[in-house]
Structure 1
Amino acid sequence: MKLGKIFGVGIYVNPFFLALIALFFVAGVLDRGLVAFLVVLIHEFAHSAAAKRMGVQVTEVELLPFGGVTRMGSEPALDPLKELYIAAAGPFSNMLMVLAAIACKNYGIWDDNIGPFFLQSNILIAAFNILPALPLDGGRVYRAFLAGSMGLKKATYRAASFGQAWAVLIVAVGLAGLLLGFTGLDVMITGMFLYYAATREKLAAPYLFMKHVIRKKDELNEDGILPAETLVALEHVSLGDITRLFVPRRFHLVIVLDSQLKFKGVATEDIIVERLMAEGLDLPIGKVIDD
């Protein structure tokens, strides 16, 4: 459901989020539901503001039962620095709101009913989101750090696997809490939702990787210069194995050696990608040089 636009960004509310607000209403705590709505909205708009500052187009924000998602015109993960900056903005905004709430309390601008809930909501959202688990903000920061050393695809798998592991732990804690009476179903549902989202991130990793590989030539044309990364490969190594080592924001040169470790030639990243798209992942790098 579309609510409208703020600063040119479409605001959508997931039906399940509306159901959650309805539950707040039935429980007689609609004011808390509206506070939760505000906290999530500010968190997502912090991502939007950071994205726009980094030159990334923001198309819409959707509010979900356990957070929100900011959809962008391009994929920030293709540039680890942008992803890190955009991802960190969300939890940072929550911490700013925590400080603002504490200041308001100290100066007597405080409501004993709403104030503590506002404070707790921001602390919980910030703490949850800094977990190094995709698709949470902390997982995106973690992937951004890993991508420079192990490549985007492997970094995505690692961060998404962390997401699945955290999800299983949250479900287990939620189940134990439900049995012992100190938590409700919400903790288990959050864990299941996180597991589903982390699995989707893992499944999308190959497509994200291909986007990253295909876009590199455009990046070089746009920027005019990129740092170079040199790899050395034997002629029988497949293009798939080579491109898995490609990292964002680097242009790769592959030195190809024969079985006697003698120099055969150098293949540039754009040629490798072109041949990969035309002839598949299993093509040996030696064929690129021979042709």
Structure 2
Amino acid sequence: MSETSLLGIRFRIHPLFWLVVGLSIAAGYFLETLALFVIVIIHELGHIAAARELGWHIREIQLLPFGGIVAIDEELEADPLDEIVVALAGPFMNVTMVAISFLFWKTGVWSDEWTRFFMTSNWLIAGFNLIPVWPLDGGRIVQALLCYFLAYRVAVLGSLGASCLLAGLMLGIGFLEQHVQLVIASTYLAILNAKAFVRFPFQFIRFLLGKHAGSVGINRIYPVTVEPNVTLLQAVQCLRKGQYHVFHVSGRGIVEERRLLHALLFEQKHQEPIARLL
């Protein structure tokens, strides 16, 4: 991928993005291609504005053949509801652009043809991004909802599994309909989810480290009841995002999340029964 920086944000551009742009311009669609590029950028700026409002750090924006992805550092420790707000901020910008284009059309600034193209492009980009496949906006929303109701490990692995199945379904439809762009997009999404599966153990460690560093001061307390012989490694698999856990060890006492994480991460007591921490 080629890279550049703008306003302190790194942009990574996939080679296939330039290929799609080049083919579109060669076919005589320069203005349309430029408009699509602007729509994608404004969509991603919506995510950035919402993320920065929450105090998150934007690592980079990736421009792909079918749109863009914003990489954010804080999402591993973020509250699931905040993640949903950030994910919806992009499609919200598309809806806003549709409203503005309608206003331009009503006042005679834009022609019927150009307004139709601009509106359709925004609806398509917003709709595609809301497909429940990670890391699209819809996939992030689904993953955040699962994280709100389930343990982090179960939620992420479940959402990635569902994303792989949906990406495979999209790939099959793309082949049947001979839709080249859908084949390229679904293949890339399937590869991203496969890589996410492989990287998840490292992601889970980052999640645990983030919870250990930020657990003090969290007001949302979530109680978990476990048996005395449950290992620390098994216990941390019950942890959820945005909540501070208190483990009630049956018949023994209480172990707080921070003590559990310290023993696991820094004392290397992975297979130690949780009762030993009392």
Is TM-score (shorter-chain normalized) higher than 0.5? yes
Structure 2: gaps of 5 or more residues:
none
- Mark the runs of 5 or more structure 1 residues left unpaired by the alignment: 179-183, 258-262
How far apart in 2 are the matches of 1:60 and 1:135? 14
Q: Distance in 1 between the 2:12 and 2:115 partners?
A: 26
Identity of aligned residues (%): 28
- Matched residue, 2:94: 94
Within 5 Å, give how 1:1-291 maps onto structure 2.
Answer: 1-6=2-7, 8-72=8-72, 74-79=73-78, 80-178=80-178, 184-221=179-216, 224-257=217-250, 263-277=251-265, 278-289=267-278
The answer to whether the 8 Å contact 1:153/1:206 transfers is no
Supply the distance in 2 between the matched residues of 1:38 and 1:60 (Cα, whole angstroms).
17
Q: CA deviation at 1:49?
A: 0.6
| Residue aligning to 1:181 | none
Detail structure 1 runs of 4+ shifted over 4 Å in the superposition.
Answer: none
Work out which structure has the larger RCO, using CA pairs closer than 8 Å and 6 or more positions apart in sequence: 2
Matched to 1:146, the amino acid is: L
1:29 positional shift: 1.1
Q: Which moved more, 1:203-212 or 1:150-159?
A: 203-212
Note the C-alpha offset of 1:46.
0.7
Give deviations 1:31-69, integer Å, cap 9, x for gaps.
Answer: 221111111111111111111101012233231111112
How many Å apart are 1:109 and its aligned residue?
2.1
RMSD over aligned Cα, in angstroms?
2.0
CA–CA distance in structure 2, aligned partners of residues 76 and 267 of structure 1: 26
Work out whether residues 256 and 266 of structure 1, in 8 Å CA contact, stay in contact via their aligned partners in 2: yes
Change (3 A) 1:112 1:176: same
1:274 maps to amino acid: H
Q: CA deviation at 1:280?
A: 4.8
| Partner Cα distance (2:60, 2:175) in 1 | 34
C-alpha distance 283-17 of structure 1, shift in aligned 2 (>3 A): same
Contact kept, 8 Å, 1:101 with 1:119, in 2: the verdict is: yes
The question of whether the paired residues in 2 share the 8 Å contact of 1:39 and 1:122 is answered with: yes
Query: Cα distance 1:254–1:115, how it changes in 2: closer, same or farther (>3 A)?
Result: same
TM-score w.r.t. structure 2 length? 0.91
The 3 A distance-change label for structure 1 pair 242 and 220 is closer
Separation (CA, whole Å) in 1 of partners of 2:19 and 2:132: 29
- Could you give the per-residue CA deviations for residues 203-260 of structure 1, whole angstroms, max 9, x where no partner exists? 3333333222222233234xx3422221121111122221111112222111223xxx
Check conservation: 2:105, 2:112, Cα contact below 8 A: no
Which deviates the most, 56-65 or 103-112? 103-112
